[in-house]
Amino acid sequence: MLTLAIPSKGRLKDNCNAWFASAGVTMEQTVGARGYRASFAGFPDVEVMLLSAGEIASSLLAGDIHLGITGEDLLREEAPELTGRMHLIKPLGFGFADVVVAVSGYWIDVSTMADLDDVCAAYAATHRRRLRVATKYAQLTRSFFAQARISDYRIVPSAGATEGAPAAGTAEVIVDITTTGATLKDNGLKILDDGVILKSQAQLAASLTADWGADVRTSCEALLSKLDPASPLYAMLAKQLP
């Protein structure tokens, strides 16, 4: 069967349900309201799985599911280089969030990544240790900082509210997601002028490492044609499949 995963809760799940409904595709959870399996009316060969947004990204990368809907930020963090691993089929127009670099608002002389590079070098020379960057996006951070030629820093994995790390004294800089920037401002932080790493939104994505047998491809073509009859979504995907 073709397997498709959507977020199991929250606004992303509600938006997914609304998007499917707008295309005339009705989803029914098969094990009650709290179940983790569902189906689409009229598509008996499609199994819908309800997973966390992070699990969807990792399952796509592992080839455990064929299709999934989750944030592009999570997909790019899981696989910074998507070629040959995942295919972004369609941006869905919801779940918008930016992955950004933010520093203390009191750092009045720091407004760009080049300024941050100067701070990192000075910090390392003064304190004999590297400036700390708190984030849940280690791969995206490393890639972006490398492009900016910044190396005098170290990543501090964030398990909680990343925006609180500078105030708590566990990091000097953060890389996190934001929609309006209000939470960052409330915590005395500002986004660097050129510190937007990724402008993310929910994506319908396909795993290129899953088992794409003939029956699965047929089911996928039928589903994508229903979801967006005006676009050749399956034809574009088929070009990427092995």
Which tokens in the block code for residue 89? 């089929």
Q: pLDDT digits over 137-184, tens only?
A: 999 999 999 999 999 999 999 988 999 999 999 999 999 999 999 999
Q: pLDDT-based confidence at 34, cuts 50/70/90?
A: low
Q: Is residue 35 predicted with pLDDT exceeding 80? A: no
Sorted by sequence, the CB contacts under 8 Å of residue 100 that are 6+ apart come out as: 175, 176, 177, 178, 184, 191, 192, 195, 196, 197
- b/e per residue, 100-117, with b = 16+ CB within 10 A? bbbbbeebeebbebebbb
Pairwise CA distance, residues 117 & 192, whole Å = 12
- Radius of gyration of the CA atoms of the chain, in A: 21
Which tokens in the block code for residue 73? 């930020």
Closest by CA to 88, choosing from 208, 176, 226, is 208
Reduced to 3 states (helix: H, G, I; strand: E, B; else coil), residue 67 is strand
Q: pLDDT digits over 208-221, tens only?
A: 999 999 999 999 99
Q: pLDDT-based confidence at 36, cuts 50/70/90?
A: confident
- What the chain holds in terms of domains, given with CATH numbers, is 2-96+201-240 (3.40.190.10), 97-200 (3.40.190.10)
Amino acid at 103: V
Q: pLDDT-based confidence at 203, cuts 50/70/90?
A: very high
Q: pLDDT digits over 95-141, tens only?
A: 999 999 999 999 999 999 999 999 999 999 999 999 999 999 999 99
